[in-house]
Amino acid sequence: MTQTTAIAHPNFALVKYWGKKDIDQNMPAMSSISITVDSMHSKTKIYKNLSSKQHRLFINGEEEQDISKIIPSLQYLSKISKSNDFLVIKSENNFPTSSGLASSASGIASLVTAYEAHYDIELKMSDRVKACMLGSGSAPRSLLGGFVLMDQNRSYRCSQILGKSDWPLDVLICIASTESKKISSREGMEISRKTSTIYNHWLDINQEHINEALEAIREKNILKLERVTEKNCELMHEVMKTSSPSIVYKTDVTRSCVTEVENLRVLGHKLFYTIDAGPQVKIICDPSSSNAIKEKIIEKTDVIEIIHAGIGGSPRVVNEN
Ligand code: 2P0
């Protein structure tokens, strides 16, 4: 039986997307900039389902009953491959799933990468982006390594701003909780789009934040990147909070990590944080400070674990049987 396996890494947004322009096409309402991380990955194996006429998805060994998220991606890809195969898809994450760690981005990007190789279809980058986006709005960014821009003004073109070795920062992922989130990103984004009193401001400021972050990354200026990343993150959490019902992903552990980031900065360490749709805090720092930061966060907060990563590369097919 032929099977194909691919690996993709999660990405964390420095300038974030929160809100859709088109729900059917799952299109973000704004541009975003992310870093792809190494150490964490989704590994996805696909092969033809010979026993039933349906796709079957297993995540970390458990069969998913609701596979509606991946169906649009598979339909898009099957039009290109001209295959009517039903697939068995087995995806494994080496990190907590559904807790704000971008498992859907790396999961979908690894699925699209495995599919392309399995059917030998050599997709255009724009087709890869589309196939990923139909499954998860942030997944196209995991198609590239390093610092990545997804530009909504250019049909969501994804481009690499810097490669992983151009600016080798460290990423410390502070796990505040491993519980699945109560409001999915998809639901939360719709609530915010419809009800947040500052949603229009959030849309209007996006290009300004993109420009600031692009400049900071091109200059490799950590202080500039700190300013734009943290203000963009706090504004997104304010959009969530001003939604009705109010959405709060931060916990006391999240807040105590942020306090320690601020304390470490006073001591002269170069670091900044970002927080997504979950309680985890991602600290981006100069590698020379990583050990001191880890020690301080473990000493002063109730984080469960810290995953130490660097900037990661693009997805790849792995030979495995
Ligand atoms: C981002 N997030 O830019 C933002 C910041 C979370 C907070 O994109 O509905 O899993 O599957 O397209 O892409 C997470 O949302 O949502 C996300 P869907 P996705 O990284």
**What is the residue type of 106?**
S
| Mutation test residue for ligand 1: of 25, 108, 276, 282, the one with most atoms within 8 Å of CB | 276
Q: Examine the domain organization and report whether 107 and 41 are in the same domain.
A: yes
Q: Examine the domain organization and report whether 223 and 144 are in the same domain.
A: no
Last residue of a domain, one of 124, 142, 164: 164
Query: Which atom of ligand 1 approaches the CA of 32 most closely?
Result: 3
Q: Examine the domain organization and report whether 188 and 100 are in the same domain.
A: no
Q: Examine the domain organization and report whether 84 and 220 are in the same domain.
A: no
What CATH number is given to the structural domain containing 179?
A: 3.30.70.890
Determine the longest span between alpha carbons in the chain, in angstroms. 61
Q: Measure 185 CA to ligand 1 centroid, in angstroms.
A: 6
Q: Measure 40 CA to ligand 1 centroid, in angstroms.
A: 17
Question: Please, what is the Cα angle at 113 between 42 and 150, to 5 degrees?
Answer: 85
| Short-list 70, 41, 36, CA closest to 142 | 36
Domain of residue 131 covers 3-164
Total-model pTM: 0.96
**Pair of tokens at residue 206:** 């996006």
Last residue of a domain, one of 136, 164, 192: 164
Which protein residues are within 6 Å of ligand 1, measured from CB? 13, 16-18, 26, 32, 104-105, 136-138, 185-186, 276-277
Assigned domain for 318 exists: no
Tens-digit pLDDT profile for the chain (321 aa)? Answer: 699 999 999 999 999 999 999 999 999 999 999 999 999 999 999 999 999 999 999 999 999 999 999 999 999 999 999 999 999 999 999 987 656 676 799 999 999 999 999 999 999 999 999 999 999 999 999 999 999 999 999 999 999 999 999 999 999 999 999 887 789 999 999 999 999 999 999 999 999 999 999 999 999 999 999 999 999 999 999 999 999 999 999 999 999 999 999 999 999 999 999 999 999 999 999 999 999 999 999 999 999 999 999 999 999 999 765
The string of DSSP letters for 248-313 reads ----HHHHHHHHHHHHHHHTT--EEEEE-SSS-EEEEE-GGGHHHHHHHHHHHS--SEEEEEEB--
